[in-house]
């Protein structure tokens, strides 16, 4: 199959989160299954500066964007064996940040979507069978494909899949502006097509017009058809349930590999994890200026400091949790109020806690390897990668059982003494505290059960190959419907 993967982010070129991680891994995994998968994304300033010598100019064209006529350059390069096309326009993408201002971002990605469709076929010498679209930044492509191309006899066999990584951001703008930017007629500006509550909504339009819709875990696919998780689109998603699929993300198992990770004080495998993790724990305690106590459970959290990640639950019980004989290391940046609150709690427990208010990918791997228990009390989590990375390193996650956390972490069964982590159901701070205390008690009192859980966690398949095979099946089903 020939797939064009359309994204606004891609690791290692330009990324702000999970979408970039997926875009940097899934296309390569699909290519290893034998499919011709290529990626297209904006040529951001940071990419142009960092990869100038690798960029090959393909062509330029003029894109009509309402009353504007805009230059669109097409460049190509290869990233980790994956062919990559990049859309160039300095006015839209020559900025230091990937995202600028919501209103301007709407215009920027309107241009991007029109430029992607104009580049298809002869310009990039690639005629895909399917466009794999991602989030609101490419949500209008199925509308454009029908209104400007397929109605006129172009790309009539081309199919689309829209993956929702974050339902919260939907691409909402004024009716007149969107009609102008996309040159759409009035018959598309209806509640059963592009409009949601009177305003154009890119993600909603994508859900309606794409051949299929996926999201990044089976549980989240069910959750978003309910009012609490649906961000106003729950009834729409429920009505289109026949086209909605949940497919778990994977992680880069070569990057996150305790046997080969050069950042670790000691490498280790499933067979040698006790000695290896003990060395990594000692090194992490030393790095964080915590007492080098091998028998004290070391808890950790690597996160964006945002309400979604359950920070309010954590802050409510953290002082009480730290009265236990434990250590706690947190790495992350975000909301200044959370940064301040965490620093204040650290000051009250100087020998037990370190709040590392920074972004450091290398340090994060040392934390995954050196800790015993990894906290993820998220209010919602479409998929989550951190819990899979933690299990890969033999660190048991403690999660709220929502979205991808529920799908990837088997909660501890105290009767059978099995599981790959610990879970609690409700958005309740004391459930978090109770579950953390239960995990700490198991760590201290039943090392055999803990060891069995670590081995079970490390034995899991978190690779992109698993996810890619599921996408392969979905692609085939979409193309069979032509």
For the stretch 384-409, pLDDT in tens is 999 999 999 999 999 999 999 999 99
* CATH homologous superfamily of 2-250+465-480: Glycogen Phosphorylase B; (3.40.50.2000)
Quick one: pLDDT at residue 182? 93
Tens of pLDDT, residues 341-355 = 999 999 999 999 999
66, pLDDT greater than 90: no
Rounded Cα–Cα distance for residues 110 and 439 (Å): 49
Integer CA distances (angstroms), 384 to 81, 138, 482, in order: 26, 22, 33
Domains 2-250+465-480 and 273-461 share a fold: yes
- Predicted confidence band of residue 482 (pLDDT cuts 50, 70, 90): confident
| Percentage of the residues of the chain whose pLDDT score is greater than 90 | 94
Nearest residue to 143 (alpha-carbon basis) of 209, 64, 201: 209
The residue-averaged pLDDT of 370-385 equals 96
Alpha carbon of residue 123 to chain centroid: 31
Question: Could you report the per-residue pLDDT of 121-143, keeping only the tens digit for each?
Answer: 999 999 999 999 999 999 999 99
Beta bridge partners of 6: 40
* Domain residue limits, the chain: 2-250+465-480, 273-461
Looking at CATH, the fold of the domain delimited by 273-461 is given as Rossmann fold (3.40.50)
Is the pLDDT assigned to residue 18 strictly greater than 90? no
pLDDT (0 to 100) of residue 348: 97
For position 68, what pLDDT does the model report?
Answer: 86
Q: Do residues 276 and 263 lie in contact, with contact meaning Cβ atoms separated by under 8 Å?
A: no
Contacts of 195 (CB under 8 A, 6+ apart): 175, 189, 201, 204
- Yes or no: say if 109 and 144 are a contact pair by the CB < 8 Å rule: no
pLDDT confidence bin for 102, thresholds 50/70/90:
confident
Q: How far is it, in rounded angstroms, from Cα 179 to Cα 280?
A: 57
pLDDT digits (tens, 9 = 90+) for 424-454: 999 999 999 999 999 999 999 999 999 999 9
What CA–CA distance (Å, rounded) separates 92 from 371? 43
Average pLDDT over residues 371-381: 97
What does the pLDDT read at residue 16?
A: 86
> Cβ–Cβ contacts within 10 Å for residue 297, how many?
22
pLDDT of residue 17: 80
**What is the per-residue pLDDT for 144?**
96
What's the mean pLDDT in 196-211? 97
Tell me the pLDDT of the chain averaged across its residues. Answer: 95
More confident residue, 276 or 417: 276
What integer pLDDT is reported at residue 67 of this predicted model? Answer: 83
Reported as a pLDDT band with limits 50, 70 and 90, residue 72 is very high
Average confidence (pLDDT) over 227-234: 96
Q: DSSP 3-state assignment of 249?
A: coil
């Amino acid at each position: 199959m020939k797939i064009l993967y359309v994204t606004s982010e891609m690791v290692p070129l330009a990324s702000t989160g999970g979408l970039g991680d997926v875009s940097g891994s899934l296309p390569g995994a699909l290519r290893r299954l034998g499919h011709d998968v290529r990626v297209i994304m904006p040529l951001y300033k940071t990419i142009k500066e960092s990869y100038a010598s690798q960029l090959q100019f393909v062509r330029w064209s003029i894109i009509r964007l309402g009353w504007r006529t805009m230059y669109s350059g097409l460049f190509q390069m290869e990233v980790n064996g994956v062919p990559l096309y990049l859309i160039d326009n300095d006015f839209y993408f020559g900025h230091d940040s990937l995202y600028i201002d919501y209103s301007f971002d709407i215009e920027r990605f309107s241009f991007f979507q029109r430029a992607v469709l104009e580049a298809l076929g002869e310009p990039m010498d690639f005629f895909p069978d399917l466009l794999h679209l991602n989030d609101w930044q490419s949500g209008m492509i199925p509308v454009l494909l029908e209104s400007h191309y397929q109605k006129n006899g172009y790309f009539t066999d081309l199919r689309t899949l829209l993956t929702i990584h974050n339902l919260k951001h939907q691409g909402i703008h004024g009716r007149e502006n969107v009609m102008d930017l996309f040159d759409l007629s009035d018959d598309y500006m209806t509640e059963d097509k592009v409009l949601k509550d009177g305003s154009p909504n890119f993600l909603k339009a994508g859900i309606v017009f794409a051949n299929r819709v996926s999201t990044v875990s089976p549980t989240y696919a069910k959750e978003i058809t309910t009012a609490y998780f649906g961000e106003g689109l729950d009834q729409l998603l429920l009505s289109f349930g026949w086209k909605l699929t949940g497919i778990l993300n994977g992680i880069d198992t070569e990057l996150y590999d305790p046997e080969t990770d050069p950042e670790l004080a000691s490498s280790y495998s499933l067979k040698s994890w006790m000695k290896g993790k003990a060395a990594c724990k000692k090194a992490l305690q030393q790095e964080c200026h915590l007492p080098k106590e091998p028998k004290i459970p070391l808890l950790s959290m690597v996160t964006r400091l945002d309400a979604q990640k359950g920070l309010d639950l954590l802050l409510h019980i953290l002082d009480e949790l730290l009265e236990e004989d434990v250590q706690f290391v947190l790495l992350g940046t975000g909301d200044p109020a959370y940064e301040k609150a965490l620093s204040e709690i650290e000051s009250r427990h100087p020998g037990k806690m370190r709040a590392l208010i920074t972004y450091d990918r290398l340090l994060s791997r040392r934390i995954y390897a050196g800790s015993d228990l990894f906290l993820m009390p998220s209010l919602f989590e479409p998929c989550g990668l951190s819990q899979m990375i933690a299990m890969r390193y033999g660190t048991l996650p403690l999660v709220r059982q929502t979205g991808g956390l529920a799908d990837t972490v088997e909660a501890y069964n105290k009767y059978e003494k099995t599981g790959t982590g610990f879970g609690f159901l409700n958005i309740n701070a004391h459930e978090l505290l109770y579950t953390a205390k239960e995990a700490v008690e198991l760590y201290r009192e039943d090392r055999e059960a803990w060891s069995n859980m670590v081995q079970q966690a490390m034995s899991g398949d978190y690779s992109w190959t698993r996810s890619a095979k599921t996408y392969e099946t979905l692609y085939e089903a979409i193309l069979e419907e032509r």
